[in-house]
Amino acid sequence: MDGPVVPVSHVRAAGQRDRLRLALTVNGEDRDVVVASYKTLLEVLREDLALTGTKHGCELGECGACAVLLDGELVLSCLVAAVECEGRSVTSVEGLAARGRGCMRCRPRSPITARRSAATARRGMLLAAKSLLDRKRRSEPRPDRRGAVGADLPLHGVLQIFDAVEAAAARCAASGRRRRSFRASEVTMAKGEREFGVLGKPLRRVDAVGKVTGETRSPTTWRCRGCWHMKLVRSPLPHAKIRRIDARKALAVDGVRAVLTGEMFPIPFGILPVSQDEHALCPDKVRFVGDPVAAVVATEELIAERRRGWSEVDYEPLATIGCPEEALAHAEPRIQEPRRRREHPQDDRARLRRRAGGDRRRRSGGRGLLLLPGEYASGVEQHATLAYLGTDGRLTIASSTQTPHYLHRAAAKVLGWPASRIRIIAPPQGGGFGGKTDPFNHEIVAAKAVLITGRPVQDRADAGRKCSTATAAGTRC
């Protein structure tokens, strides 16, 4: 990033906000790092110090995945500006793991802890437990459990985590804080439970420690020398025709290297053979708010993020269908063009009724309202893709995907490359819950950008972008 490097104390006085030199203590080590002045503490830890155990979750301070200790106090690093941490001490989950302090010494032993070990392994809870135990050692007032959990949340299960942390702290104190290895035979079974060799034992996952401490790397944490960054331009309208895309203003910006549009992706794709109706970038029409219409590739992520809005898109709004009844009442405009011509216009209505088990109004004698509450599952690591050409000429797509074989098939079809020359890497995703099971737009567009520019291209989503572009078929980022 261009611009002079100035001490943090001189940033506001000199009016230079491009970069600053930040001195702070991280996990017991004095660190002097040059960072962008707009960054949060979370971004500095992950991007500049490579401490990826602190996660980029909700960006709203709700999930706790970004929790760290700042001068011994529990804070949410996504809400703390980096400039506020000058000269202060920061402890992340890596610091607990390296020094073996506090709750990182706690090992499941009681039946409560054994059953809840998955919950207590969350990094935010580890930092919160460390803060709680430190306050207890300083004889400070113990926080109210109901206040710590939240007035609107159930106490079932959560209070057991409190009990498990306190029990583990008592064991650590009794053993003189000697580090002990975990043994399944030490687990005390609850009354009335039968002793088994494997069943009922808290067997530790082989990848648990790496995921909690940040040692396991997902695509959001990968860095590639000389890598360019890509951001998608998305539609603000739910249903519209694309008249024209003018990318000249974006291409005139220093740092922007390419702008991709839907004309470059005429071949559709889909996860199933019967649903090959998606395009990597919309060629002629958008069908929901957030539908991608273009992609901006730049030398820096911030440039791509800020300049993607400079690609001017001329839309012709179309009528929006908001419910199944409107879709049945109005034959046009169609969201998707029919794959084959039907002789009878009522075929769609009859087919829907057959799938629903007949006309329910006729069977029940009246109208009914069916409410389907929605849920949104999200991993602590967001969608990310890194695409590059190897020395052997093969195209490699490393992505946080749960279905590498589907992505391999879709990429080969859309890009027109032989499948033997495309390699898909599916590293640990940081959580998916089904939200990463489709081939996604950004994966294929990033690969196309590599073929056009010849440079490695990376795209990383954030939580807000992921939530705002969720569709029935999956999460579009």
Q: Which among 99-113, 138-152, 156-170 has the top mean pLDDT? A: 156-170
From the list 477, 372, 365, 387, the residue with the least C-alpha distance to 432 is: 477
Find the Cα–Cα–Cα–Cα dihedral 120, 125, 127, 128, rounded to 10°: -120
Find the Cα–Cα–Cα–Cα dihedral 319, 323, 324, 326, rounded to 10°: -40
> Could you tell me if 382 and 464 are in contact, meaning their C-beta atoms sit under 8 angstroms apart?
no
Q: pLDDT tens across 313-355, in order?
A: 999 999 888 788 888 888 777 777 766 544 444 455 555 555 5
Q: pLDDT tens across 242-295, in order?
A: 999 999 999 999 999 999 999 999 999 988 888 888 999 999 999 999 999 999
From the list 250, 238, 245, 241, the residue with the least C-alpha distance to 263 is: 245
**Average pLDDT score over residue span 112-139:** 59
Q: What is the DSSP letter of 190?
A: P
From the list 289, 258, 262, 294, the residue with the least C-alpha distance to 278 is: 262
> Could you tell me if 295 and 449 are in contact, meaning their C-beta atoms sit under 8 angstroms apart?
yes
pLDDT band, residue 229 (cuts 50/70/90): very high
SS3 171: helix
Sequence spans of domains, the chain: 5-91, 103-213, 228-318+379-475
Q: Which among 100-114, 165-179, 399-413 has the top mean pLDDT? A: 399-413
**pLDDT surpassing 50 at residue 178:** no
User: pLDDT higher for 224 or 463?
Assistant: 224
pTM above 0.75, yes or no: no
> Could you tell me if 22 and 34 are in contact, meaning their C-beta atoms sit under 8 angstroms apart?
yes
Structure tokens given for 347 = 């075929």
The pLDDT assigned to 63 comes to: 76
Q: What percent of the chain has pLDDT over 90?
A: 33
Amino acid at 457: V
Place of tokens 């919160």: 128
Pick the CATH number of 228-318+379-475 from 1.10.10.60, 3.40.50.1700, 3.90.1170.50, 2.40.30.10: 3.90.1170.50
Fold of 5-91: Ubiquitin-like (UB roll) (3.10.20)
Q: Residue length, the chain?
A: 477
From the list 164, 179, 81, 180, the residue with the least C-alpha distance to 125 is: 164
DSSP line for 352-411? HHHHTTS-HHHHHTS-------------SS--EEEEEE-TTS-EEEEE--S-HHHHHHHH
Q: pLDDT tens across 454-463, in order?
A: 999 999 886 6
SS3 93: helix
Segment holding 33, helix H or strand E: strand 29-36
Considering all CA atoms of the chain, what is the largest pairwise distance in Å, rounded to the nearest integer?
82
> 268: cis peptide before it, omega within 30°?
no
C-alpha–C-alpha distance, residues 349 and 326, integer Å = 12
pLDDT band, residue 219 (cuts 50/70/90): confident
